Amino acid sequence: MGKRLLITALCALGLLSCTGQRSDGDFTFDELALLHTSDSIMRVLTIADSLDLQVLRSQSADLSEAALRSEDYARLARLMVATVTHPSQDGVGIAGPQVGLNRRVVAVQRFDKPGEPFEVYPNISIVWASDSLAYGPEGCLSVPDRRGEVLRSQEVVIEYASTDHENGLNMVKDTVKGFTAVIFQHEIDHLEGILYIDRL
């Protein structure tokens, strides 16, 4: 009885991860443990596993400024890029839920930039999408061995958090077109618990 009361008190104080996400936007104990499981790549969750599917179907939450300025976030960003670019995956984008964290973070290959770099975007959302739509082939690291034609906007405006400024987070907007816009839409769907197969 006493142990149950202690756990309840810790939950109320926000000192224990009781819901999987902390309301203050910091990493939970479970998320930190997952981040420090590997130094190379992270396991990609798939729809074939029922527990994985629960994560993939859950909505993701923003991270706090403190979390985004932490070494843990830098580690997450590095591991996400390492995972999506690993020869075993060879993807063009990956989202937090796909590596087990329901956080609004995506890594996307910017085919629209010189050198086609991978970039990581925290607390991201789409604030505008064009009415100009087109079907295109899509696949997903979390839905292995399947592809399908998905209708997507050809241009979007994304908004994400930048920690480049010392005084608080700065929300940045970027207009993205073509295939890269499709990647952003696919990855941001993941943050809402949506898979591309839902759009077939």
- The amino acid present at 26, given as its one-letter code, is D
Task: Look at residue 13 in the predicted model and tell me its pLDDT.
Answer: 41
Residue 23 is predicted with a pLDDT of 56
Q: Are 157 and 173 in contact (CB under 8 A)?
A: yes
Give the per-residue pLDDT at 20. Answer: 52
Q: What per-residue confidence (pLDDT) applies to 185?
A: 99
Does any domain span residue 64?
yes
Question: Does the annotation count 155 as an active-site position?
Answer: no
Residue 4 lies in a domain: no
Provide the domain count of the chain: 1
Domain that holds residue 95: 26-199
pTM value is: 0.88
Tokens of 196: 């591309």
CATH number at residue 155: 3.90.45.10
Does residue 18 belong to any structural domain of this protein?
no
Q: Tell me, what's the pLDDT at 72?
A: 98
60 assigned to some structural domain: yes
Residue located via tokens 């197969």: 197
From 65, 71, 187, 192, active-site residue = 187
Which two tokens mark 159? 């908004």
Instruction: Show pLDDT as tens, one digit a residue, over the chain (200 residues).
Output: 443 433 334 344 443 334 455 557 999 999 999 999 999 999 999 999 999 999 999 999 999 999 999 999 999 999 999 999 999 999 999 999 999 999 999 999 999 999 999 999 999 999 999 999 999 999 999 999 999 999 999 999 999 999 887 778 999 999 999 999 999 999 999 999 999 999 99
Assess if residue 21 is contained within a domain. no
Spatial separation of the C-alpha atoms in residues 180 and 109, rounded to whole Å: 7
pLDDT at 1: 45
Q: What is the DSSP letter of 141?
A: T
Name residues whose C-beta falls within 8 Å of residue 45's C-beta, 6 or more positions apart in sequence.
52, 53, 55, 56, 97, 98, 99, 100, 142
Residue 7 domain-assigned (yes or no): no
Domain assignment present for 16: no
Asked whether residue 101 is assigned to any structural domain, the reply reads yes
Q: CA of 118: how far to CAs of 19, 20, 38, 78, in Å?
A: 31, 28, 20, 10
Burial pattern 26-44, b for ≥16 Cβ within 10 A else e, equals bbbeebeebbeeeeebbeb
